[in-house]
Structure 1
Amino acid sequence: MTPLQRALVEKAGNDHGFEYVLPANDHTVKLASARHRVQVCISAIDGQYTLSFTSPASTLLSAELARSLPALRRSADSFVAPDQVALTQVLRRAAELAHALPNQAVRDFEASLTQELTQLPEELKNTEVERLVRQRIGQQAFRSAMVDYWDGACAVTGIALSEVLRASHAKPWAACDSDTERLDVFNGFLLSANLDALFDRFLISFSDAGTLLLSPRITPDTQARLGLTQPLCLRWLAEEHQPYLNYHRNRFGALM
């Protein structure tokens, strides 16, 4: 790798979620971050960049990267970026997924919670105040992971106006058995406000194929007013969504 290529790779990493340069050999650049646990080793051959990722969820990360960037060529367990523009796209998306995929949201939640609880007066610990603090920080971590995973756009409509997007749980916060479930990015979808309100009340759900299911309680007139007359479908649906979606669909069916 030439000095210019090395400098360009390091800058691309710093600008797109991999701010640390780790020791490596003369032929590669190894990048990491203090904000997530994914590392990437990059080599340059004939103007192309080969990226190999390591993380606690390497298989899941690779699958999601392949889905997000279908035009990207794969070589064994690596991704090949044909130019500098593609290199930055891969690094940016990998960093987003690193923040979103299990269990980074749990780690972020625990770190933020520890910091905030140290500032909480002793008499308020183990009270309703602490419970509300936990819920607020957890919901913030969940929303952040959702925004990263869905690339800042509604999982159905693709609307990218952040002010109207909501992080919707499939298995509700109160029904979850652990913080791992509550903060799992696959436990729900990033939805526009009207879809979120319906999903939260089990008035809509999604099939195994991701198509929108409507409760008969939503009349044709209401469907038209809500913009639900056209067939709608999730932009994608991972296998890891299915257990939570099954829970939601059972609740949806029980209210029909």
Structure 2
Amino acid sequence: MNSLQRALIEKIGTDNGFEHTLVVEVSSVTLASARHATCATVAIRDNGFDIYFKSDMVSLLPELTRSFPTKQQSGGFSVADEAAFAALLRRTAGLSRALPSQVAIGYDAAVAEALSALPDGKTGTEIERAVRLRVGQQKFREALLEYWRGSCAVTGIALPEVLRASHAKPWAECSSDAERLDVFNGFLLVANLDALFDRFLISFDDQGGLLTSPRLSVTDLLKLGIHSGMRLRWLAAEHQKYLSLHRSIYEAYSLAIR
């Protein structure tokens, strides 16, 4: 690898979420970031780049394989050009910031910072609870925006003003901050779907297909822009435990009104 090739890799890394050069070897460069814990080792090949990621997040590789199924090669990824290399790094950095452990790591620090900014005398259990709720919901929304690439998990609409971070297991019922902030405990939904999901008037089956409550008439569904065949754009295995809980409540509510 010559100096120009190294400079190119470092520039693409800096622009796409890997701003630090950790290790330089004869045939590869390892990139890292202060914003997440994933490292990327990059080598130049005749027709592109070979990239190998190191991360403690077990869900990272499956998510990357979902996004780049044709690029995976022997535990790493091979891409043909600079644009594909940049896209892979950008998605990896986004997921590395959004996946569960990374979100939880920064949560307490963000809460402490928010509490320290309060005026003197504005402290106490209720104030802290409100701050933790606000910061937690903000972090959860940021994580879902990263994970779903800024688009509704069902419709693909990418207008931030109408997107909501929907919990599958309600915030108040979560047993820990880790559950509340788990990116797999919910979906990024447009406002009408969010409102219905939050009230258990819709849910999703194990394959991501939309389920609708008998309380919703055909006319209601048409006016809401909801139609048969709507489904989640993808569904990870880690979603299933939360979705199963949500669906059980949805089914109980649906049975109660029949």
Q: Do the two structures share a fold, i.e. TM-score over 0.5?
A: yes
Alignment of 1:22-61 (within 5 A): 22-57=22-57, 59-61=58-60
Give the aligned length.
Answer: 254
Letter in 2 for 1:179: D
What is the CA deviation profile of residues 168-203 of structure 1, one whole-angstrom value per residue up to 9, with x for unaligned ones?
A: 000010000000000000000000000000000000
Alignment of 1:1-256 (within 5 A): 1-57=1-57, 59-72=58-71, 74-120=72-118, 123-256=121-254
Contact 1:203 1:215 in 2 (8 A): yes
CA RMSD of superposed structures (Å): 1.2
Moved more, 127-136 or 180-189: 127-136
Letter in 1 for 2:74: A
Q: CA deviation at 1:120?
A: 3.5
Contact 1:113 1:137 in 2 (8 A): yes
Contact 1:61 1:97 in 2 (8 A): yes
Q: CA deviation at 1:122?
A: 6.6
Q: CA deviation at 1:241?
A: 0.2
Of all paired residues, the percent bearing the same amino acid is: 52
Contact 1:49 1:83 in 2 (8 A): yes
Q: Which runs of 5+ in 2 are unaligned?
A: none
Q: What secondary structure sits across from 1:109 in the alignment?
A: helix
Q: CA deviation at 1:3?
A: 1.5
Letter in 1 for 2:108: E
Letter in 2 for 1:67: R
Letter in 1 for 2:78: V
Q: What secondary structure sits across from 2:223 in the alignment?
A: helix
Contact 1:167 1:191 in 2 (8 A): yes
Letter in 1 for 2:226: L
Q: CA deviation at 1:117?
A: 2.1
Letter in 1 for 2:117: Q
Scaled by the length of structure 1, the TM-score of the pair is 0.96
Letter in 1 for 2:200: F
Q: CA deviation at 1:62?
A: 1.0
What is the CA deviation profile of residues 202-243 of structure 1, one whole-angstrom value per residue up to 9, with x for unaligned ones?
A: 000000010000000001110110111242000000000000
Q: Please give the alpha-carbon distance, in whole angstroms, between the structure 2 residues aligned to 1:81 and 1:126.
A: 53
Q: CA deviation at 1:254?
A: 1.2
Q: Which runs of 5+ in 1 are unaligned?
A: none
Q: CA deviation at 1:123?
A: 4.5
Letter in 2 for 1:150: W
Q: CA deviation at 1:154?
A: 0.4
Q: What secondary structure sits across from 1:190 in the alignment?
A: strand
Contact 1:124 1:130 in 2 (8 A): no
Letter in 1 for 2:216: I
Scaled by the length of structure 2, the TM-score of the pair is 0.95
Q: Please give the alpha-carbon distance, in whole angstroms, between the structure 1 residues aligned to 2:59 and 2:227.
A: 35
Q: What secondary structure sits across from 1:255 in the alignment?
A: helix
Q: What secondary structure sits across from 2:233 in the alignment?
A: coil
Q: Please give the alpha-carbon distance, in whole angstroms, between the structure 2 residues aligned to 1:127 and 1:110.
A: 16
What is the CA deviation profile of residues 44-73 of structure 1, one whole-angstrom value per residue up to 9, with x for unaligned ones?
A: 11132111111111x42111011012232x
Q: What secondary structure sits across from 2:59 in the alignment?
A: helix
Letter in 2 for 1:21: T
